[in-house]
Amino acid sequence: MSDPYVIVGLGNPGPGYAETRHNAGFWFLDLLASRSGSVFRTQTKLRADLAKTSLYGQDCILVKPTVFMNHSGQSVRAVVDYYKIPGNRLLIAYDELDLPVGVVRLKQGGGHGGHNGLRDIFRHSRDHEFLRLRIGIGHPGVKDAVTGYVLSRPSAEQELMTRRVISDAADAMRDVLGNDIPKAMKKLHTVNTEDTVTGRDKGSN
């Protein structure tokens, strides 16, 4: 039997953050759980809410850290160690300031790009070659405005576009879990992005 595939969504816990841009990773996990009919259960020792399920014939563990974003590495390390998951069976989904709204990208390895959740995962892990699902949220245009921007709710238009590409990403998991990453990348990276908007273009909060 192969190892389960661990899919982690990054975000902040609690209802006050549920609809914010920074929780796009949680939105993705919630969609995967809904599609597979699975339910998240709190695992206190692992500092995460987990849902064990099967997606496209592959055993998966969906993980939503119950710690705040800046401490995401604690949850990821705890889950990876407990289930003895190798780096090639790990995907992290998170919000990406450097991509416009309506764009989602798959990436293997690389740096943390200044993302606080990834930064903490790097701090708690030696293997940084895990797969990343980068969900574009746009940029407010000014560095000092980033914190307020990611912790606020997107406009209705932006939220619709974000959830649409998250649905595309969920569809692409068939290929990811089938170990055909190039095919998944090709599908997602050729999605029509003509109508994408950044936070500075329109509909910003």
Residue whose entry in the numeric block shows the structure tokens 């889950």: 79
Strand 104-108 and strand 48-55: the pairing is unpaired
Strand partners, 50: 41, 63
Residue 58's Cβ-side half-sphere holds a number of Cα atoms within 13 Å equal to 20
Show Cβ contacts of residue 117 under 8 Å, excluding neighbours closer than 6 positions: 10, 25, 69, 70, 72, 92, 94
d(CA 121, CA 129): 12
Residue pair 93/8 in contact by the 8 Å Cβ criterion: yes
Question: Is residue 189 annotated as a catalytic residue, yes or no?
Answer: no
- Given the residues 22, 124, 128, 139, select the one marked as catalytic: 22
Catalytic residues: 22
